[in-house]
Amino acid sequence: MCFHKRAMSEPQPSDSVVALTPWDMALRRAVARPRVLSALDAPDAAEAVQALGELEVYHAVKSLGAHDATPVLGLMSVDQARTLFDLDVWHRDQLEIADVLTWLDAFREAGISALETAARALDPEALAGIFRRRLLVTLVPKEDASDPEPLPDWAAEPPEEILPIITTPDGRFYVAARATDEQADRDDELLDEEERKGILRLVDELYRTEDWEWVAGLLRMAESDLTSSLEEDARQFRAGRLEDLGFPPLQRALEVYGLLDPAVLTEPAAARYPSLPEALPAAFVAPLSTGLFHLAMQRLDDPKVVARVEGDLVPLANAALVADGAEPGHLDHLQDTLSRARGYIELALAHGTAPGAERVETAALRLARHHVTALFRVGYTLTVRAAGRARALLQSGALSAEDQPLGLLCDAERQALSALGKKRPRYCEALDPWTAALARGERPAGGLDEARQHETRAFQAPEELAAVEALLADAEALAQVAPRLAAGLAEADDALPPPEERTAQVVLATAAARALLGQAAEPRPLDAEALADLADRLVPPGRLRPEDLDRAQAAAAEAFGAEPAVARRVASGLAEAAETLWPLVGQAVDPRFVSGILVLA
C-alpha cells in the first residue's frame, strides 16, 4: 500500500501546486453536490436535484426548514420525498400526523404536482391511516339499491362540531373532519380547526389530480380498515426502507458497540463488509475533516480504498444513531454521533503508537486493511477497558475517605473516573491539562482542572484516552501504597482536617514539605512557625526552587514509593501551598489561609 506524503511533508513553496488526495476530492465532492440547490431556476434543476442522494436531499431540506425549502420540495422525486417522510414524521415508531400535514402544506406551496408527489411518497397505508384518524368516511348509498345500507349516525344526524360534511367529486363518499382524533383518550381533546379544514382541503386537492382513483382507494381503506393494522403495515414498510438506507433494527444496530479485541489490528487483513452506494453527505464533512482520521485518510492514495471507507461511514453513523436511541433523522444527534464515531476510530488507529509521522502512517494502513466498523468497535472497547479499571478503583475502599484516614483522589480525579461509568464511557474535561500536555509530547504534570470536573463528553482524540490511562495508572499506583499513607497519617498526633480534605495529594505534599524543612517525611500538620519557614524558601513569583522541589519529591517517593504518582501529587500540592503562602512571605502566617498541605488550624 502506498500513501500520499502531503499531510506530513514540509510546507510547499507558494508557487507550487499540491495535488489533491482522493480523500480531499471526496470531501470536495460532498460539499459541492448540494450546491445545485442554489441554482433551482436552471433548466436542468429538477434533474440535478433528483440526482442527489436521498440522505443528501433530506439533510439539505431539514437544514432549510419546511417553509424555506419550498423550491427544493417542488423538484424532489417520489423516493426523495419518501425518505423525508420516513426520517422526519415518525417518532419512536409512531406516525406524527401534525408533522405529516406540515410537510404536505409545504409541498402544496410548491404546486399541486409537488403535493401529489408527496402524497404518493407516503405509503398508502400511512395516508389511509391518517385519513381514518382525522376523517369520518362512509359510502354514499346507491340510489338504485334495493336494500341500501343505513348511514352511520354521524352522517344521518351530524353533530355541529363535525360540520361541514362534503361529498367527494366522484360522488362515492361522504366525508367529514373529526372533531377529535380517532385514537384520542378523551372527547374534549379537540383538533385544531385549521387542521380540520386542511385535511378536507387535502382530499379535495388530491381528487383534482389527473389520476384520482387512488385517492378513492385510500378513502375506502380509511372507511373499512383498522387504524392499528394500517399503521403497523406502514411501520413495517418504513423499517425495510430505513434498513436499505443503513438504519438497521435496534438489535442489530447495537452490534456496532460489540466489544472487539484490539489484537485484530495486528491482522494483515480484515473481512470486507458490504457498503452502501450512498455517497458521503455534506453533513458528514465537518466532523470528518479533522484529527488523526483526516490525516490518515489523506495518506491513502488508492481511490477505491477511499471510496470503500467513504461508503462504510454512512451505515456506521446510521447504525450508531439507532443504537444510541436517537431518531434517524435528527441532524444534531447525527453531528454528535459522527464526532463520537471519529473519536472511537481514532482511538483504534492510534492504539499502541506514539504521536508523529509513524502514527499517521500506521493509522492509514489500518484504515486500508480494516472496516471502519471494526475500528469503531476496537476504539469503544478501549474505553470500556478503561472503564473497567476505573470501576475497580472506585469500588476499592482506598478511593473513599469514609471510615478511613484518607482518600486517594481529589474530587476532580473521582469525577474523571466516574465519567467512565456512563452507559458509553465518557471523557471528563477536567483532564484537559493532561490531554494538552500529551498532545505536546510531554508527560502530564500538575493537577486537573477542578472547574470543569462536571463537564463530560464523548472521546474525541487518542490523547484523551491516554490522559485517562495516565490517571488510572496514577491511581492504581497510589492504591498500592495506600496502607503506608494511611499508617503515616494515623500516627500523626495533631488535629486533622475533615476526611474529605485528607486526599493523597495533601498527605504527600505535607510529608514532602516536612522533608524540605529537615524533618522526617511524615504527614503531620504544619504549624504557623513551620509554614513561615516554608514561605521563606519561595522565590518569585511564588514557587519553590527546582532543586527544592526535586528534593521534596525524592523524599516523598523514598518514604512511600509509587513514583511518579507521588511526585506529581507532591508538585501539585506544594504548588498550591506556595500560591497561598507567597502573599504572606515576611509576615506572620495564619494557617487558615494556607491550602495544599495539612496545617494546624
In a domain, 545, yes or no: yes
Lowest pLDDT segment from 14-23, 113-122, 127-136, 442-451: 14-23
pLDDT of res. 406: 63
Q: How confident is the model at residue 269 (pLDDT cuts 50, 70, 90)?
A: low
The stretch 76-97 carries a mean pLDDT of 94
Taking 90 as the threshold, does the pLDDT of residue 227 lie above it?
yes
Length of the chain: 601
**What is the C-alpha to C-alpha distance for residues 376 and 392, in angstroms, rounded to an integer?**
25
pLDDT in the model for residue 42? 86
Instruction: Tell me the per-residue pLDDT of 175-185, one tens digit each, with 9 for 90 and over.
Output: 999 999 998 87
Interhelix angle 331-350/462-490, rounded to 10 degrees, is: 70
Order of all β-strands in the sheet with 135-139: 135-139, 173-177, 165-167
Instruction: Check whether 569 has a pLDDT greater than 90.
Output: no
Q: How crowded is residue 253: how many other Cβ atoms within 10 Å of its Cβ?
A: 20
**pLDDT bucket at 443, cuts 50 / 70 / 90:** confident
Residue 353 in any domain: the answer is yes
**Residue 529: other Cβ atoms inside 10 A:** 11
For residues 475-493, average pLDDT: 77
Q: Does residue 467 belong to any structural domain of this protein?
A: no
Angle, CA of 221, 224 and 225, to the nearest 5°: 70
Stretch 110-135: mean pLDDT: 96
The residue whose grid cell reads 379544514 is 197
Residue 237 included in any domain: no
Residue 12 above 60 pLDDT?
A: no
Cell numbers for 455: 463537564
Identify the weakest region by mean pLDDT among 17-31, 245-259, 544-558, 572-586: 17-31
pLDDT tens profile 401-413:
454 556 677 889 8
Task: Reply yes or no on whether the pLDDT at 500 is more than 80.
Answer: no
Complete DSSP assignment for 177-236: E-SB-TT-SSTT-BPPHHHHHHHHHHHHHHHTSS--HHHHHHHHHHHHS-HHHHHHHHHH
Is it the case that residue 172 has pLDDT exceeding 70? yes
- The share of the chain scoring above pLDDT 70, in percent, equals 92
550 within some domain: yes
The answer on pLDDT for 399 being more than 80 is no
What percentage of the chain carries pLDDT values higher than 90? 62
For 191-207, b/e burial (b = at least 16 CB within 10 A) is: beeeebebbbebbebbe
pLDDT mean over 55-62: 90
Q: Are residues 263 and 376 in the same domain?
A: yes
End-to-end CA distance of the chain: give it in Å, rounded: 68
Task: Report which of residues 493 and 29 the model is more confident about.
Answer: 29
Least confident among 151-165, 206-220, 349-363, 404-418:
404-418
Do residues 253 and 63 make contact, with C-beta atoms less than 8 angstroms apart?
Answer: no
Residue of higher predicted confidence among 82 and 413: 82
Give 305-348 pLDDT, tens digit per residue: 898 898 889 899 999 999 998 888 888 899 999 999 999 999 99
Q: Is the pLDDT confidence value at 421 over 90?
A: yes
In a domain, 161, yes or no: no
Picking from 347, 362, 383, the residue at the C-terminal end of a domain is 383
What does the mean pLDDT of the chain come to? 88
* pLDDT class of 513 with cuts at 50, 70, 90: very high
> Is the pLDDT confidence value at 13 over 50?
no
pTM over the 0.85 mark: no
pLDDT number for residue 402: 52
Evaluate whether residue 286 is within a structural domain. yes
- Of residues 496 and 138, more confidently modeled: 138
- Give the residue from 383, 409, 427 where a domain finishes: 383
pLDDT at 66: 87
Q: How many CB atoms lie within 10 A of CB 412?
A: 21
Please give the residue range of the domain that contains residue 275: 252-383
**In the chain, how long is the greatest CA-to-CA distance?**
117
Specify the number of domains making up the chain: 2
Tell which wins on pLDDT, 257 or 401.
Answer: 257
> Which pLDDT score, from 0 to 100, does residue 18 have?
57
Query: Domain boundary residue among 331, 360, 383?
Result: 383
Over residues 424-439, the mean pLDDT reads 95
